[in-house]
Amino acid sequence: MLPPAALAERVEAVLAEDLPVIVRAGDPVLRHPAQDFDGQLDDDALGRLISTMRRVMHGAPGVGLAAPQIGIPLRIAVLEDPGVQDPAVAEARARTPLPFTVLINPRYEAVGDAVAAFYEGCLSVPGYQAVVERHARVLATYTQPNGISTRTELEGWAARIVQHETDHLNGQLYLDRAVLRSLTADREHGRWAQPTVDVARQGLGF
């Protein structure tokens, strides 16, 4: 665990970059639980970190980014999803637009027993996607940047994003939960880019 001064120094070093590089799988920062945020950064530094994470997420592009993905071991993640244009995909995946959201020290728990399996990718594991079965609905508990504690029930794709990013903060990658037989290179993924994974199940035998 980094002491506050060392952590603040690392944050400033990352923020000094024009656009921080996304850390790739194999870097230890992705494999250790991140530290809870408890005031190690002042409001200005926290605001600049959140703004930078949002720019990195958009630039990738992605729908979520956890602080460890830019080398900062803090329990902070940003989310934003514009949704998809294809009505069939949107309905099958319960994917609706998710406004920009900041999660500080997030936790989640399942609501009900329903699960859903879809392909996921990760900015820290470029070039591949795999099917991950996740809770269809979760109750997320987190703190907003203004210090307000929040409990929000999420379903569908928004719930998936929260689970994916919170897993990052626990030192887990989506591949730890994936059906590895479904692993697909991006250049091959077009044949399985269906509203559901039923065709992929038949084709790849999982």
What SS3 state is found at 170? coil
Report the alpha-carbon angle 82-85-89, nearest 5.
Answer: 100
Mark whether 109 is an active-site residue: no
CA distances from 161 to 10, 29, 78, 145, 199 (A): 26, 20, 10, 19, 23
Report residue 71 as tokens.
Answer: 């080398």
Q: Which of the following is catalytic: 91, 109, 120, 165?
A: 165
Of 66, 64, 59, nearest in space to 81 by CA: 64
Active centre residues (catalytic):
165
